[in-house]
């Protein structure tokens, strides 16, 4: 059933039917009701492509998922982020198209723009000095960054967690418990969020007049293995850390594994604070979390990201929107005062 057929069935012109369905005022209420009813009854909904062609809008936003080769990682937060963004999109009548790309993202954006398949894109996992915003501005494709880009000066819209503040508070919490050697198991610092987390950690140390020790900081892909191996290595040093600040829950599980392998008890011998994206399939316990964590829901971030982006698309002239989420510091069972005499690993 298309518009023409519906119009014929109703004995009206296509114009009138179209206007009735799109809420234009030039049609009487009686006619509108009649049209809407008939549309529902025949299960008519306008062809998205034809509508898009006519209006010049795709009613879709794009997400680009960068993956490297076979073995590389798909960011585990994507699922929840997508779910959040998807909710918001559906609610606003938009679709989400995603594009998995290894290598040249620029080409993907260019093609999205040229083919008109989306009205805007979400830029995720921005790196330091990320070239994408400049590219997108150049293309005239609206975008929203999930995260921020330290180097970029032009105004842009973003949503982000206050990583620096979160990690400053988390590190401060550990230091206030008496820990003096706090290991930082960070994400790769080419990513802006990891960079900010590192800064927050450094600030907490500096505020207390403590030096930042290079051998207590590592960065890498946030897998369980990476957490485990990093913690093992640090705990094997002559002066091992008594606490860890970890960049993701998955990674923290690795750290815990390392701690337990050495016969140490988490929360007594070694404290752990982790960032927690509140992933739905990986809940960090109930009322009292297993891990003390700085928590911020990535699903909520997804919802807001989509809303902000769509806002930008629909009113391009409006000033850029920013949304800074504060993480909650939730105390769980993985932290406690620094041990007096540190038991050394066997």
Partner DNA sequence: CGGGGCTTCCAAAGCGCTTTAGGAGGCCCT
Partner DNA sequence: AGGGCCTCCTAAAGCGCTTTGGAAGCCCCG
6 counts as binding its own copies under rule CB under 8 A: no
From candidates 3, 250, 251, 301, binder to DNA by CB under 7 A: 3
Q: What is the CA radius of gyration of the chain?
A: 25
Pull the structure tokens for residue 147. 């995260």
Report how far residue 76's alpha carbon sits from residue 187's, in angstroms, rounded to the nearest whole number. Answer: 13
Q: How far is the CB of 225 from DNA (least distance, A)?
A: 47
22 binds, among DNA, its own copies, none (CB under 5 to 8 A by kind): DNA
253 binds, among its own copies, DNA, none (CB under 5 to 8 A by kind): its own copies
Of 72, 65, 63, which is closest to residue 223 (Cα–Cα)?
72
Pull the structure tokens for residue 146. 């999930």
Q: Closer to its own copies by CB, 47 or 344: give it.
A: 47
Report how far residue 302's alpha carbon sits from residue 231's, in angstroms, rounded to the nearest whole number. Answer: 31
69 counts as binding its own copies under rule CB under 8 A: no
Q: Closer to DNA by CB, 35 or 63: give it.
A: 35
Q: How far is the CB of 15 from DNA (least distance, A)?
A: 3
- The burial of 67, by beta-carbon neighbours within 10 Å (0-12 exposed, 13-18 middle, 19 or more buried), is given as middle
Q: What is the DSSP letter of 266?
A: B
Residue partners of 263: CB distance under 8 A and separation at least 6: 345, 346
Q: How many residues bind DNA (CB under 7 A)?
A: 26
27 counts as binding DNA under rule CB under 7 A: yes
344 binds, among DNA, its own copies, none (CB under 5 to 8 A by kind): none
Q: How far is the CB of 21 from DNA (least distance, A)?
A: 7
14 counts as binding its own copies under rule CB under 8 A: no
Residue partners of 115: CB distance under 8 A and separation at least 6: none
- Are 40 and 10 in contact by the 8 Å Cβ rule? The answer is no
Interacting residues with its own copies between 73 and 102 (CB under 8 A): 73-76, 78-80, 82-83, 85-87, 89-90, 95-102
41 counts as binding DNA under rule CB under 7 A: no
305 binds, among its own copies, DNA, none (CB under 5 to 8 A by kind): none
Span between the terminal Cα atoms of the chain, in Å: 75
222 binds, among DNA, its own copies, none (CB under 5 to 8 A by kind): its own copies
Q: Closer to its own copies by CB, 212 or 224: give it.
A: 224
For 288-329, the DSSP string reads S-SSEEEE--HHHHHHHHHHHHHHHHH-TTSPPPEEEEPPEE
Of 67, 65, 107, 105, which is closest to residue 82 (Cα–Cα)?
65
Task: Give me the 273-292 binding string for its own copies, x by CB under 8 A, dash otherwise.
Answer: ------xxxxx-xx------
Q: Closer to DNA by CB, 116 or 151: give it.
A: 116
- Are 175 and 169 in contact by the 8 Å Cβ rule? The answer is no
What Å distances lie between residue 162 and 206, 229, 297, 310, 328, CA to CA?
19, 28, 12, 23, 10
13 binds, among DNA, its own copies, none (CB under 5 to 8 A by kind): DNA
Q: How far is the CB of 77 from its own copies (least distance, A)?
A: 8
> Which residues of this protein are in contact with DNA, per CB under 7 A?
2-4, 11-16, 18-19, 21-22, 26-28, 31, 44, 46-47, 50-51, 53-56
> Which residues of this protein are in contact with its own copies, per CB under 8 A?
1, 43-50, 52-53, 58, 60, 65, 67, 71-76, 78-80, 82-83, 85-87, 89-90, 95-102, 110-111, 114-117, 222-225, 250, 253, 260, 279-283, 285-286, 299
């Amino acid at each position: 059933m298309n518009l023409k057929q519906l119009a014929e069935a109703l004995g009206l012109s296509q114009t009138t039917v179209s206007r009735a369905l799109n809420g234009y005022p030039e049609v009487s209420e009686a006619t509108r009701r009649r049209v809407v009813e008939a549309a529902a009854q025949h299960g008519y909904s306008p062809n998205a492509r034809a509508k898009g062609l006519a209006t010049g809008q795709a009613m879709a936003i794009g997400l680009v998922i960068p993956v490297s080769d076979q073995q590389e990682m798909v960011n585990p937060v994507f699922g929840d982020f997508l779910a959040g963004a998807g909710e918001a999109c559906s609610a606003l009548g938009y679709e989400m198209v995603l594009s998995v790309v290894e290598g040249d993202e620029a080409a993907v954006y260019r093609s999205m723009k040229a083919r008109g398949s989306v009205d805007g894109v979400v830029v995720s996992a921005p790196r330091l000095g990320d070239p994408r915003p400049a590219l997108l501005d150049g293309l005239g494709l609206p975008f929203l960054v999930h995260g921020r880009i330290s180097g970029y000066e032009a105004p842009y819209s973003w949503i982000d967690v206050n990583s620096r503040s979160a990690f400053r508070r988390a590190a401060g919490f550990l230091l206030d418990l008496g820990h003096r050697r706090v290991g930082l198991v960070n994400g790769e610092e080419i990513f802006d969020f990891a960079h900010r987390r590192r800064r927050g950690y450094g600030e907490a140390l500096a505020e207390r007049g403590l030096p930042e020790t290079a051998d207590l900081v590592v960065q890498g892909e946030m897998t369980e293995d990476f957490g485990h191996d990093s913690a093992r290595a640090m705990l094997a040093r002559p002066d091992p850390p008594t606490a860890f600040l970890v960049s993701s829950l998955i990674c923290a599980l690795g750290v815990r594994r390392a701690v337990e392998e050495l016969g140490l008890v988490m929360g007594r011998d070694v404290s752990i604070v982790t960032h927690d994206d509140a992933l739905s399939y990986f809940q960090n316990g109930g009322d009292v979390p297993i891990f003390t964590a700085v928590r911020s829901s990535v699903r909520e971030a997804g919802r807001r990201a989509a809303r902000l982006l769509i806002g930008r698309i629909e009113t391009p002239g409006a000033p850029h929107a920013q949304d800074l989420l504060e993480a909650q510091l939730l105390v769980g069972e993985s932290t406690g005062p620094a041990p007096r005499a540190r038991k050394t690993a066997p």
